[in-house]
A and B are shown apart, each in its own frame.
Chain A
Amino acid sequence: MEEGKVLSQSLQQSAAAYVIIHDKFGDALSAFDANETMPFFEVLDTAQWPEIALFMRDHPKLQFNYMACLSGVDYQAEEKVGIVCNIESLGQRNHKLAVKVKCARHGGSIPSVAEVWHTANWHEREAYDMFGMLFTDHPDMRRILCPDDWEGYPLLKDYKVQESYHGIKVPY
């Protein structure tokens, strides 16, 4: 970011969208991280996340109508797990933003946005399957890839695979 003073056009759009959200929700959001790869902000007050999501989708100047991805992340050093949502306004405003939401590493929960963007339904199930955070008010909070009776959450950094599954040895 040598010539950091001149933001690219897409970054300017993202920053403008952030300002609108920040005006409404204030301290519930972190500061805007204006990086070129994935401009993002974090939701500090996780309880407000569905409300923020709905605002982002329905505000006439935002129109974030498309959730491109929702990924889980393990922040082992912070004792937290979280999600990163890549949200775009497709065919409307053509801007994009990423939103990060974090919760406690064991037994934590994040409010679901599956009713805001239906894409989030399965993606949240996958994040739960791999990292173990629960999504409150999710319509169908089950594992999606691993078997229902699988032990542990495989993408946690300190994950140890179970010795056997239904009598079949798992490790090599």
Chain B
Amino acid sequence: MGLLDAAITKHNVLVTSVDNVLNWARLSSLWPMGFGLACCAIEMMATNASNYDLERFGIFPRSSPRQSDLMIVAGTVTMKMAERVIRLYEQMPEPRYVLSMGSCSNCGGPYWEHGYHVLKGVDRIIPVDVYVPGCPPRPESLIGGLMKVQELIRMEQIGISRADALKKLAEKSIDPQFVIDRERKAATA
């Protein structure tokens, strides 16, 4: 980043790797599939709308799985819907990412014990890259999850698998307490 902020006058040469350029392009136009399953979808729509304005990150919903990079599973996945979710996932072109939004799609949420009709976690049927906790998560949390997907894309290289990229992402993780303490200190000063 910072590339576009720099004043680029004529006769300049930029040197970078193909990976970096490709990843930058992909993470700057992350198109999720526009579909919601329950109340989390309301929160997702609020995040898309002008107050939180996902479009500033190049994220805006597409109406077809064939044009989407990212599937936000927003809400309760019923057993009846589970097979449709698999179908939609299979229709998305690779590379594709899955963000599981909210307790229901993470693990069944409040339906974990008596919800006979609810799939107890969407990761039972499709691979999930990022989990966003909450019931429902606030738009800030969802944006945090989307940032995580962008970081994951940034970790990718030609020739390494998704699992390796996720491992690299995990290695780069920062302890949130450290950030909180740092910000608090900066605020009081």
> Chain B: which residue is nearest A159 at the CB level?
B116
Does A139 have its Cβ within 8 Å of any Cβ on chain B? no
Interface centre among B112, B113, B116, B124 (most CB of A within 10 A): B116
Structural contact, B80 and A146, CB atoms closer than 8 A: yes
State which of A145, A146, A159, A168 has its C-beta within 8 Å of the C-beta of B124.
A168
Bound Cα distance A146, B115 (Å) = 12
* A: contact size bracket: 10 to 19
Structural contact, A154 and B113, CB atoms closer than 8 A: no
Chain B residues within 8 Å of A168, by CB: 79, 82, 119, 124-125
* B: contact size bracket: 10 to 19
State which of A150, A165, A166, A172 has its C-beta within 8 Å of the C-beta of B108.
A172
Structural contact, B79 and A147, CB atoms closer than 8 A: yes
Does A19 have its Cβ within 8 Å of any Cβ on chain B? no
> Chain A: which residue is nearest B108 at the CB level?
A172
> Which parts of B95-148 form the interface with A (CB within 8 Å)?
108, 112-113, 116-117, 119-120, 124-125
Chain A residues within 8 Å of B124, by CB: 168-169
**Known A168-B82, A168-B124, A172-B112; 18 more pairs at CB < 8 Å:** A145-B117, A146-B80, A146-B117, A147-B79, A147-B80, A150-B79, A161-B116, A165-B79, A166-B83, A168-B79, A168-B119, A169-B120, A169-B124, A170-B116, A170-B120, A171-B120, A172-B108, A172-B120
What are 19 A-B pairs at a CB distance below 8 A?
Answer: A146-B80, A147-B79, A150-B79, A159-B116, A165-B79, A166-B83, A168-B79, A168-B82, A168-B124, A168-B125, A169-B120, A169-B124, A170-B79, A170-B116, A170-B120, A171-B120, A172-B112, A172-B113, A172-B120
